[in-house]
Amino acid sequence: MKFVSVRELRARSADVWRQLSEEPDMVVTSNGKPVAILTAVSPAGLEKSLSSLRRARAISAVETMQIQSAAAGKHRLDRDFIDHEIAAVRKGRGK
């Protein structure tokens, strides 16, 4: 995977766009740290690419929540406690 700095992207954007046909994914860096990913897409595949990206982000978010929940010990909560919490939140919404 190719890395390109923000400075290089600004100064040589036409070269970077051309390189996307050869290297379909590039990592954009700022001060040596990754800040974005450039991905080549076709007009016909744009919606599919966006859908795939959103799905991957959602899966990653769920995995992060599961890890945080387990670290906090919440994976041990019993069903009655969970049902009670859900009912309390739903009751509070009605106000």
Strand order in the sheet with 2-5: 2-5, 25-30, 33-39
Could you read off the pLDDT of 7-45 as tens digits, one per residue? 999 999 999 999 988 998 999 999 999 999 999 998 999
Q: How confident is residue 95, by pLDDT bands cut at 50, 70 and 90?
A: low
Both structure tokens of 28: 């954009």
Q: What is the per-residue pLDDT for 87?
A: 94
Residues spanned by the domain of 66: 46-93
Do 65 and 87 share a structural domain?
Answer: yes
Q: What is the per-residue pLDDT for 27?
A: 96
Both structure tokens of 78: 């019993």
Could you read off the pLDDT of 58-70 as tens digits, one per residue? 999 999 999 999 9
> Do residues 19 and 2 lie in contact, with contact meaning Cβ atoms separated by under 8 Å?
yes
Instruction: State mean pLDDT over 71-88.
Output: 90
Q: Which of 26, 55, 59 is nearest to 40 (CA)?
A: 26
Do 51 and 86 share a structural domain?
Answer: yes
Both structure tokens of 11: 């100064």
The domain that holds 11 is classified in CATH as 3.40.1620.10
In total, how many domains does the chain have? 2
